[in-house]
Structure 1
Amino acid sequence: MSDTAPTVSTGPLSTGAVHFDSVGVREARDVLNRFYHPVSLGAPESAEVVVGAEVIQLGPLTVGHLTFAGRVTLVAPEADAYHLTLPTAGRVLARRNGREVTAGPATAVAFRPGDPVYLRPETPSAEIDVRIERWALENELAALLGHPVEGPVDLPAAFDLTCGPAHSWSRLIRLLHDELEHESSLIYQPLIAEHLCSSVLSGLLLSVPHRYRDELVAPATAGPPRAIRRVLDIINQEPDRPFTVADLARVARMSVRSLQEGFRRHVGCTPMAYLQETRLTRAHETLRRADPAAVTVAAVAHRWGFAHLGRFASAYRARFGAAPSETLRRTG
Structure 2
Amino acid sequence: MESVTFESRDLGRTEEFLNRAYTKMQIGGTPKDVRARISRAAAESISIDRIEIGFEMSYDADPLGKVCLCEVYSGSIGDHATDGWEDAFGPGDLVYFAPPDKPYKGTVCRSTYNITMFDESLLTRVAGVSRRDNAPVRLLSHRPRSREAARHLSRTIAYLGDHMLPNPAVRSSPLLIASVSHLLAASVLEAFPNTATPDHRADSRDARPATIKRALAFLESNLDKAVDVADIAAAAGVSVRAVQTAFQRHLGTSPLAYLRRLRLEQVRAELLAADPAESTVAGVAARWGFHHHGRMSAAYHEVYGELPSTTLAR
TM-score scaled to structure 1, two decimals?
0.52
The offset of 1:167, in angstroms, is 1.4
Distance 2:126 2:63 in 1: 23
Amino acid corresponding to residue 48 of structure 1 in structure 2: D
Which aligned runs of 4 or more in structure 1 are off by greater than 4 angstroms? 146-149, 180-189
Match of 1:122, SS state, is strand
Could you tell me which of 69, 73, 76 is aligned with 1:88?
Answer: 73
Distance 2:153 2:67 in 1: 16
Seen in structure 2, the aligned counterparts of structure 1 residues 114 and 188 have a Cα distance that, compared at 3 Å, is same
Spell out the pairing of 1:157-306 with structure 2 (5 A cutoff).
157-159=142-144, 162-163=147-148, 165-179=149-163, 186=170, 189-214=173-198
Distance 2:189 2:41 in 1: 21
Which residue number in structure 2 is paired with residue 32 of structure 1?
18
The offset of 1:187, in angstroms, is 5.4
Seen in structure 2, the aligned counterparts of structure 1 residues 57 and 182 have a Cα distance that, compared at 3 Å, is closer
Spell out the pairing of 1:89-128 with structure 2 (5 A cutoff).
89-93=74-78, 94-110=80-96, 111-123=98-110, 125-128=111-114
Seen in structure 2, the aligned counterparts of structure 1 residues 20 and 160 have a Cα distance that, compared at 3 Å, is farther
TM-score scaled to structure 2, two decimals?
0.55
The offset of 1:67, in angstroms, is 0.3
Contact 2:3–2:166 (Cα < 8 Å) also in 1: no
Which residue number in structure 2 is paired with residue 295 of structure 1?
none
Aligned length: 197
Distance 1:176 1:188 in 2: 15
Structure 2: stretches of 5+ with no match in the other structure: 201-314
Distance 2:158 2:168 in 1: 18
Contact 1:107–1:160 (Cα < 8 Å) also in 2: no
The offset of 1:22, in angstroms, is 3.8
Q: Is it true that 1:130 corresponds to 2:141 in the alignment?
A: no
Contact 1:54–1:180 (Cα < 8 Å) also in 2: no
Greater C-alpha radius of gyration: 1
Could you tell me which of 24, 46, 51 is aligned with 1:61?
Answer: 46
Percent identical residues: 16
Seen in structure 2, the aligned counterparts of structure 1 residues 195 and 182 have a Cα distance that, compared at 3 Å, is closer
RMSD: 2.8
Contact 2:71–2:115 (Cα < 8 Å) also in 1: yes
Which residue number in structure 2 is paired with residue 77 of structure 1?
62
- Residue deviations 1:173-215 (CA, integer Å, cap 9, x gap): 1123323895657456443232111110121012111232236
Amino acid corresponding to residue 191 of structure 1 in structure 2: L
